[in-house]
Structure 1
Amino acid sequence: MCEAIAPLIKESSGNKNDFVELGEPGSPERNAGIPNFVEITQDWVSRAQEVLDAHAEPPRYLTRTLQRYVDDMRLFVDGLRPGPEDDADRALWTDSIGALGGPLTTCLDQGVELWQR
């Protein structure tokens, strides 16, 4: 699973970094970038879910934490709107980072690096 998901995690990390680099939540640049970020994240979620579904037998810690990350990203973009960041947005963003720790460490132990940038 680590090898199958690695390109997608790197892609997601790059997309998230690009989105954050647009500016602070609520800034005109970040607000303008929301539709694109939502679209590419929704596409990413569907492709990541396919990998998860195809690899339902690895250690459960890996699949559970990876599923949390996929779900958090889906929930984040489902509720993302222009304007200042709200508590729910911050909580989902932070939880997604925490959830990604499971796949990052598990896959690194397998010799597969998931991190980008």
Structure 2
Amino acid sequence: MKSYTEQMSQLLATEKNLRLQLTADGEKFQQFQDALMKSNEVFETFKQEIEKLAKSIKELKKENNFLKSKSEKSDIALIELVEEREHLKKQLERTRNQKEKLESLCRSLQAERKQNIAERNSSDSAPV
């Protein structure tokens, strides 16, 4: 009976220790579950931010391509305008040269006309 009582008290002590250990393990498991839930929330937030950034990157790439295209078109238009400007400069220079030649021709024709008028006047005033 005494041995049985000792065995019972040992079993009760072991049960008590096991229950305490079970409670401690349950708390640790709950902490682990809480940490896992927080980790899942952080992961979900991270995943959503990655998706937002992916969308943002996609939009920025589209905008970048649009701006590159626009820049290339602007460069082409600028080159065409520079070529047109050079062409117009050459045309202006030709027109100026032509104008100077025409003015020179007009002056010489006016001088010739004056000379002809002077010769007529002198021949009209001279006795025949």
TM-score over 0.5 (shorter chain) = no
> What TM-score does the superposition give when structure 1 sets the normalisation length?
0.23
> What TM-score does the superposition give when structure 2 sets the normalisation length?
0.21
Higher RCO structure, 1 or 2 (CA under 8 Å, sep 6+): 1
From the two aligned structures, give the one with the greater helix fraction: 2
Give the structure with higher Rg (CA). 2
